[in-house]
C-alpha cells in the first residue's frame, strides 16, 4: 500500500510505503523523528497506545478534519454480539455533552473492524498520575469533583459506566478531567456471577479487583450504586496512594470486600478531612443501600471540602453574614431598652418638676385668699394640715435630688 506523507518538521515529502507501521525513523533532511503511521480509512494510526479486553487504542490523525483523535478498534477475538454492544454504547455516549466527558466523534466499521473515534487526551490518565506518586490533595479533590459531575450528566442521560477506575479517568492538556469509555468494556456486559467461592472470572485482573463492586462480583448486576462504589475506590486510591484493598491477588482482593471495611483515609493522611474520609467510606460500603444514592450527594459534599473552598472569602463571609446581623440586632435591642428605661425615668422627673411648683403655688394662693377673707374655719381646720405637711417635707431641691 502506498503511503506518502510530509515531514512535520520541514515539510519534506517522504515515501513510507515500505516501512513497518509504528516504527520510528528520522527525516533525511531535518532529522526529526517520525513514527510511521498505519492507514485506516481516512485516519492515520500514529501510535499504538495498547489494548484492553475489548479494543485496541491508537493515537491517530483524522486526515479529513486534520484533527488528532483516539481511535478504538474492536479486538479480533470479540464476537459479533459483543461488537454490536460496543457500537451501541458508543452511540449512546456520543449524545453526552459535558466538559468532563470525553466527546465521541464517530463510530462505524472499517475493513471488517468496528471502531470509534474520540477526543485524544494528551494529559494521560489518573492511573499514570498515581504511578508517579500520591497527587497533591487539592488537585485530587478537584479531579474527584469533576469526575462526579461528568458521571452525573451521564446518569441523567441513562448512561452507565460499569468500569470506573483511574485508567478510565483522563486529563486534557490543561489538567481538566474527562471521563470516558462508558460501557466500553467486556465486563460491563456480563450478567452472571463473577465470583463463586474460589472461582473468579478470568476478566477480573488484579487492577480491576481494586475497584469492582461487591454486587457485580456476586451477581453480575449493578445499578448506579455499583458505579458509585467503583468511584469511591478510585477516590480512595487517589487520595491515599493505596488501593482500598491491596492483597497480592485478584481473588484475595475480591474476598476482602466481604470481611470488613478498609482503613479510613483519614487515618492514612491527616490532610484528608473527616467529611471526605466518611464520604469515601460510605461509597465503599458493602451494602448498596448504605452508599450515597446519587452523584449529586457526592458532589455536594466534595464542593464543601476545605481545600476546595479556601480562597473563596466572599462566599464564606456571605455564609456567616446572618450570624453577624443577629448579634448586632441583639446588641441594639439591649441598648434600646436602656434608653427606653432612661426616658421613662426622665419623663417621670420632668412630670414632678411641673406638678410640685403648681401644687405649692396653689396652696399659697389658697392661704392668701383665706387670710384676706379672714376665713376662720379654713384657718382652724385646713391650714394646720398644710402646715404639718410642709413641716415634714424636705426642701424642694433635696426632694428632686433624691428622685434623680
DSSP string computed for 293-343: SSHHHHHHHHHT-HHHHTT-HHHHHHHHHHHHHHHHHHHHHHHHHHHHHHH
pLDDT of residue 318: 34
Domain residue spans of the chain: 37-119, 127-310, 324-403
Task: Give pLDDT, residue 342.
Answer: 45
**pLDDT at residue 389, rounded to an integer:** 54
Q: Chain centroid to CA 76: how far? A: 40
How much is the pLDDT for 94? 94
DSSP assigned state of 264: P
Give the number of C-alpha atoms closer than 13 A to the C-alpha of residue 207, restricted to the C-beta side: 12
Count of C-beta atoms within a 10 Å radius of residue 206: 14
CATH topology of domain 127-310: Transferase(Phosphotransferase); domain 1 (1.10.510)
pTM summary value: 0.73
Could you please state the CATH topology (level 3) that the domain comprising 37-119 is classified under: Phosphorylase Kinase; domain 1 (3.30.200)
Q: Give every residue of the chain whose pLDDT is below 70, as ranges.
A: 309-404
Per-residue cell: 68: 488528532
| Whole-number pLDDT of residue 281 | 98
Tell me the CA distances in angstroms from 162 to 184, 212, 370, one per residue in order.
9, 9, 114
Q: What is the CA radius of gyration of the chain?
A: 42
Q: What is the pLDDT of residue 390?
A: 55
pLDDT number for residue 399: 47
**What spatial distance separates the first Cα and last Cα of the chain, rounded to whole Å?**
114
Angle, helices 383-392 vs 313-373, to 10°: value is 140
For 305, phi then psi, to 5°, come to -60, 130
> 24 and 32 in contact (C-beta within 8 Å)?
no
Q: Can you say how many angstroms the Cα of residue 91 is from the centroid of all Cα atoms in its chain?
A: 28
The pLDDT score that the predictor gives to residue 107 is 93
Amino acid at each position: 500500500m502506498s503511503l506518502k506523507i510530509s515531514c512535520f518538521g520541514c515539510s519534506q515529502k517522504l515515501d513510507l510505503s515500505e516501512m513497518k507501521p509504528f516504527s520510528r525513523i528520522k527525516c533525511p533532511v531535518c532529522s526529526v523523528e517520525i513514527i510511521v503511521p498505519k492507514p485506516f480509512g481516512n485516519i492515520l494510526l500514529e501510535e499504538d497506545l495498547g489494548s484492553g479486553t475489548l479494543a485496541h487504542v491508537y493515537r491517530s490523525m483524522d486526515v479529513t478534519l486534520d484533527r488528532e483523535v483516539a481511535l478504538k478498534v474492536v479486538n479480533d477475538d470479540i464476537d459479533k454480539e459483543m461488537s454490536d454492544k460496543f457500537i451501541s454504547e458508543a452511540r449512546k455516549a456520543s449524545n453526552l455533552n459535558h466538559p468532563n466527558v470525553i466527546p465521541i466523534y464517530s463510530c462505524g466499521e472499517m475493513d471488517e473492524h468496528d471502531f470509534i473515534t474520540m477526543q485524544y487526551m494528551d494529559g494521560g490518565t489518573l492511573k499514570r498520575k498515581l504511578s508517579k506518586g500520591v497527587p497533591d490533595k487539592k488537585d485530587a479533590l478537584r479531579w474527584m469533583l469533576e469526575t462526579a459531575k461528568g458521571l452525573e450528566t451521564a446518569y441523567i442521560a441513562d448512561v452507565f459506566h460499569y468500569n470506573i477506575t483511574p485508567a478510565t479517568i483522563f486529563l486534557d492538556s490543561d489538567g481538566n478531567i474527562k471521563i470516558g469509555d462508558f460501557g466500553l468494556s467486556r465486563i460491563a456486559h456480563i450478567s452472571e456471577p463473577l465470583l463463586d467461592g474460589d472461582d473468579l472470572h478470568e476478566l477480573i485482573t488484579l487492577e480491576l479487583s481494586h475497584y469492582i463492586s461487591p454486587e457485580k462480583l456476586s451477581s453480575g448486576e449493578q445499578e448506579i450504586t455499583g458505579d458509585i462504589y467503583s468511584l469511591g475506590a478510585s477516590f480512595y486510591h487517589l487520595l491515599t496512594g493505596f488501593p482500598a484493598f491491596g492483597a497480592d491477588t485478584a481473588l484475595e482482593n475480591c474476598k476482602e470486600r466481604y470481611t470488613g471495611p478498609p482503613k479510613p483515609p483519614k487515618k492514612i493522611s491527616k490532610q484528608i478531612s473527616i467529611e471526605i474520609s466518611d464520604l469515601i467510606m460510605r461509597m465503599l460500603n458493602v451494602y448498596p443501600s448504605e452508599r450515597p444514592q446519587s452523584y449529586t450527594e457526592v458532589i455536594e459534599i466534595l464542593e464543601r471540602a476545605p481545600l476546595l473552598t479556601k480562597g473563596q472569602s466572599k462566599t464564606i463571609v456571605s455564609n456567616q453574614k446572618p450570624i453577624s446581623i443577629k448579634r448586632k440586632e441583639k446588641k441594639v435591642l439591649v441598648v434600646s431598652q436602656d434608653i427606653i428605661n432612661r426616658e421613662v425615668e426622665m419623663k417621670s422627673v420632668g412630670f414632678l418638676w411641673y406638678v410640685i411648683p403648681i401644687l405649692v403655688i396653689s396652696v399659697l394662693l389658697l392661704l392668701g385668699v383665706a387670710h384676706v377673707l379672714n376665713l376662720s374655719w379654713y384657718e382652724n381646720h385646713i391650714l394646720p394640715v398644710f402646715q404639718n405637711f410642709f413641716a415634714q417635707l424636705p426642701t424642694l431641691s433635696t426632694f428632686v435630688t433624691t428622685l434623680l
